[in-house]
Chains A and B, each alone.
Chain A
């Protein structure tokens, strides 16, 4: 029985000996990774199906044979070996023989890569618990370290790298202004339109100004600013410190005797603490402006708007809103730095840290906002 399988440049001829269970494979042509696909499939399937007592591989027709070819020869030989069946190779050129020997010398056994066994449920549970425990421990230790370093910086302002602080304020603050202005303005506009609908039904659309003032100054201004900071600045901190970590720059700082927390974290924390209230004021201002624009389109004067606003909110509301940005800033900056420093190795780890910094940052902002609102309510602010 004769069969032929052709593939561009590589040819496989199969001869079966009907009685003896012997198979002869004749390979000819150019054997490389590019040409080997069909022949590899064909010959291994054939062996698995027939399990011959002896396999004779004639490679004298090969014009070129690279490592892929040697790999197939090895694979066939190993398969025959595993069945304790015969294997014979004919026509291996001396240079191919050297290569084949080289491969066989390296390891007597063929390499069959096994996937790593998946851990069981109990193991997974234990690992996760330990991981969460480590994470909490790390966060507590980090908060402690940051507080102590920040206090140190307050007592010795000369030790702070002010140049870094200003660079950070420029990148994270000045460059964020257009976005903050746009978001703040639109929030004011949106609040005005949304509240106008129900208020108009009651014929009291003059109170749109009160709603906008109350919502923007107490809640939305600081919140939108914090969310933009978390997405824009917190993630940048995590990515930058994370990249430094995988490039061993953090290790370099440590061995130079420079405390990474002092060197990297303090300047960023000071920067974000400085710019968060300023950006909140900016967002508040443009939010009110957006509200005013819509309010005027309803036919009211600017004076009415100011009167309505001042009758609803006082300085305490404005300051209360701005004050909220400080805990937000601490959370965003701290989490960004922590996630950056926790970065493991590899490029994907930086991505994970960045994502984690934004997610944890958002969660912390919402929790803090809830806590602060409860406190304000209790204090009557």
Chain B
């Protein structure tokens, strides 16, 4: 019994470690140099920030397909806000841009949440609709062309640049852990505490575990559901402006199929699509695992499409493991 629980909890970690070891040996330990750690962190941060929200949504037995499109829309609108406020001091302009995109994301997420809770439309359909609308709007508002960050605000790129630990412990962590990575870590801590240590968090699990029972025991189910979508939207906005800042422009094409990647990562991380179960740490491992796979495929010089094959297999395996262990338990 104990052993099974141990396997359940740490099988993913074990797989991750094994994968990294294999990659390390295959690349003459190039893969485990500190630079690559910084590289992987900067790549995964934008996805992880969204995955924080997605984990909560999936714990309530919902789904959010609009996140990729929201990254595009908020990135475009955030950079457009920068062009509008030209002339303001740097810090104020940055705050406005970040605030604008988070707000847009929050508004779109709120709308999804509203439609889902008020009219009882299945989350899959409501957010699918939102996905199309936002992708279309992203292209329309910028007239189909990427919006460049104005010259005077080019320093916004600091969001994606390496800042921390450029020279830590005598090792040059080139290019350093970017600010986006630090935001990601802060987010992980915050949402981990929120989910495991607060009433709101426990209510999220309750709603996902048994909606009817939660309602009868006095939990405001609609409020909980509404907020998980709204928060996810806001996190997409944060991710969108970081992505735009790193790319140097708000690109309506960005975030393509991210919803599927993020959902895959959350599921690999052990969150149940039926709701009620899942952790932020698990999601972190899921996102990390998928990113390690992607970077590993590039390091080995295989064609990009192997990445999809491996990702699909890992996803299936993770869900199989979950289903089988559930069956054994019952």
A and B from one complex: no
